[in-house]
Structure 1
Amino acid sequence: MESEKRPLAWLGILIAVLSFTLFQAAFITLGSAIQWPDSLDYPPERIFPLLIEKASAVYSGYYMYLMYSLLLIPIVQISGGLFTDRGTFWSVQLMKVAVGFAVASAVLRALGIVRWQYAMMYLAGVHEQPEASAAAIQTTEIVFQTLNLYAGKVGEHLGVGLTGSLMLAFYGLALLGADLNRKWLGWLSLIVATLIIPLEDFFSFIPDFYITFSTTVFLLWILVVAGALFRLQSREL
C-alpha cells in the first residue's frame, strides 16, 4: 500500500477517536442534565420541565450525540477502503455495501436524535406555559408519546440496530475476503453485528441492560478499528 495513504489512515484514526469521545461527552452532558438515557422513558410531565430547565445542555448534548452518529460514515468508508485496498473484487463490493448501510444508519440515527432538539423542545414549551389549557396539555402529551415512539424506533431500531448490524455484517464479510491480516477484525465485526441486533424489540425476556451492553460493544469496536488503522499505517504503509 502506498505511503501517501498514511495521512488517510491517520484521518480515520482521529475521526474514530473523536467519535468515541463525542459519545462520552454526550453521555456525561445529557446524563447530568436530564438523567439520560433513563429519561428516554420518562413520561411527558416529568421530561418536559427538565427539557426547559436544561435546554442548553440538551441542545449541546444531543448535537454531540448527532456528530458521533454522523462520523460513523467516514469511519467505515476510510477504514473499509484501506483494509480492502488489496482485496478481491467481491470484498471491495461488499465494503461498498457496508458504507451504504453506514450512511443509512447515520441518517436514521440523526432522524431519531433531532426530535429532542426541536420537536420535543417545542412541545415542552407549549406544555409548560402557565396559561396552557387542559386540552393543550393533553394534546402535547399525546403528540409527545406518539412522536417519541415513532422517532425513537426509527433511530434505535432501524438506525442503531437493523442497519447498524447490517453495516457490520457486510464490513466483516468484506474483510474476510480481503487478506489474512484483517480476518480477525472481520470475525469481530460479525460478532458485534449479532450483538447489536435489537432483540429487545422482538423478545420480552431480554434484560434492560442489554441495550447498554450492545452500545458499549459497538463503541469498543470503533476503538478497535482505530487501533487496526494505527497498526496499518505504522507497519504496512
Structure 2
Amino acid sequence: MIASNSYASINQTERSVTSTYRWAAGLLFGQFLIFMLTFLVLGSAIDWPASLDNPAAQALPLILQERSAVALGYTAYFLSATMLIPIALLLWHILGSESGLLRVSAGFGILAGFAKLLGIGRWLLLMPSLAEQYSATSDPNLRASIELLYTSFNNYAGGIGEQIGVAFFAGLWTAGVSLSILRQRQLPRWFGYSGLVVASSVLIPLIEVYNLSAGPMLMISNSLWQIWLITLGGLLLRYQPKVEV
C-alpha cells in the first residue's frame, strides 16, 4: 500500500513537471507567433520597425491614417511582451528554482517584460491622441509643440522599452538562462552556448545610450532572440520528462 502510494505520488509529480514543460513551450511558441503578427501588421501598415525613427511630421499622419492597424499590431506586441513574464517564471521552475543565478535571471526576465510594456504602451495610449491633435490643427506653434512632445516621449519611452527592456534586461535574462542550461545539463550544451552568443548580440544596442550607432543591430539581435526562443520551446518538448502510465 505504501509502495503504491509512493508510486502514485512520483507519477503525479512527473505529470506536473511535464505539464510545466508543455506550458512553457506553448507560451514560447505563442509569443513567437504573436510577435510575427506584430511584424506583419505593423510592417505592412507603417513600415515598422524602420518607422520608429521617422520624425513626428511624418509619423503622426501615418499613425492616424493606419490607426486600426497600429492598434492591432501594438496590441499584439503588448501581448507578446506580457507573455515573457510567465515564461521567465516557468523556466525558473524548470531549470532549478533553488538556483540563485536563475532566481536573479527570472527577475531580469520579469523586468524585461514590464519595461517592454511601458515602451509599447505609448503607441496605444499617447501617440494616437497626438496624431489626432496634430491633424486637427494648422497652427504652426501648436504643431511644433506636439512634435516636441512626440519626440521627447518617444525617446524616453523608447529608451525604456528598447534599451532597458529589449536590450539590457532581456539580454541579461537570456545570458542567465543560458548559463543555467550549461550548469543543469537538462538541455543540450550547444544551446546554452548559442544563448550566450544571442545574449551578447541583444546587449550590443545598449551602445546607443552613449550616442553611438548600433545600425541594424537591434533588428538583427531581436530576430536571433526570437529564433532562440522558439528553438527553446522545441527543445522543452523534446526533452520533457517521460511519464509512465
TM-score normalised per structure 2 = 0.86
2:83 corresponds to: 71
SS at match of 2:75: helix
2:56 corresponds to: 44
Letter in 1 for 2:169: T
SS at match of 1:196: helix
Q: Which has the larger radius of gyration?
A: 2
Is structure 2 residue 234 aligned with structure 1 residue 227? yes
Is structure 2 residue 223 aligned with structure 1 residue 210? no
Q: Please report how far the alpha carbon of residue 66 of structure 1 lies from its aligned counterpart in structure 2 after TM superposition.
A: 1.0
Tell me which of 51, 68, 71 is aligned to 1:59.
Answer: 71
CA distance in 2, matches of 1:77, 1:126: 41
Is structure 2 residue 141 aligned with structure 1 residue 135? yes
CA distance in 2, matches of 1:184, 1:32: 36
Contact 1:94–1:170 (8 Å) recurs in 2: yes
After superposition, the C-alpha distances for 1:107-147 in whole angstroms (9 at most, x for unaligned) are 11111111011111111111100x44222111000111111
Is structure 2 residue 198 aligned with structure 1 residue 186? no
Q: Please report how far the alpha carbon of residue 48 of structure 1 lies from its aligned counterpart in structure 2 after TM superposition.
A: 1.0
Contact 1:83–1:182 (8 Å) recurs in 2: no
Q: Relative to structure 1, is the Cα distance of residues 234 and 174 closer, same or farther in structure 2, using a 3 angstrom cutoff? A: closer
Letter in 2 for 1:25: L
1:20 corresponds to: 32
What RMSD, in angstroms, separates the aligned Cα atoms of the two structures? 2.0
1:29 corresponds to: 41
Tell me which of 167, 170, 178 is aligned to 1:164.
Answer: 170
Q: Please report how far the alpha carbon of residue 6 of structure 1 lies from its aligned counterpart in structure 2 after TM superposition.
A: 1.6
SS at match of 2:173: helix
1:113 corresponds to: 120
1:99 corresponds to: 106
2:19 corresponds to: 7
Contact 2:17–2:241 (8 Å) recurs in 1: no
TM-score normalised per structure 1 = 0.89
CA distance in 2, matches of 1:84, 1:228: 17
Tell me which of 94, 106, 113 is aligned to 1:82.
Answer: 94
CA distance in 1, matches of 2:65, 2:187: 52
Tell me which of 127, 136, 144 is aligned to 2:150.
Answer: 144
Q: Please report how far the alpha carbon of residue 200 of structure 1 lies from its aligned counterpart in structure 2 after TM superposition.
A: 4.5
Q: Relative to structure 1, is the Cα distance of residues 22 and 143 closer, same or farther in structure 2, using a 3 angstrom cutoff? A: same
Q: Which runs of 4+ in 1 moved over 4 A?
A: 234-237
Q: Relative to structure 1, is the Cα distance of residues 40 and 181 closer, same or farther in structure 2, using a 3 angstrom cutoff? A: closer
CA distance in 2, matches of 1:230, 1:181: 11
CA distance in 2, matches of 1:18, 1:180: 23
Q: Relative to structure 1, is the Cα distance of residues 175 and 146 closer, same or farther in structure 2, using a 3 angstrom cutoff? A: same
| Number of aligned positions between the proteins | 230
Letter in 1 for 2:150: F
SS at match of 1:218: helix
Contact 1:8–1:78 (8 Å) recurs in 2: yes
CA distance in 1, matches of 2:186, 2:20: 22
Contact 2:18–2:243 (8 Å) recurs in 1: no
CA distance in 1, matches of 2:116, 2:155: 14
CA distance in 1, matches of 2:186, 2:162: 34
SS at match of 2:123: helix
Q: Please report how far the alpha carbon of residue 234 of structure 1 lies from its aligned counterpart in structure 2 after TM superposition.
A: 6.1
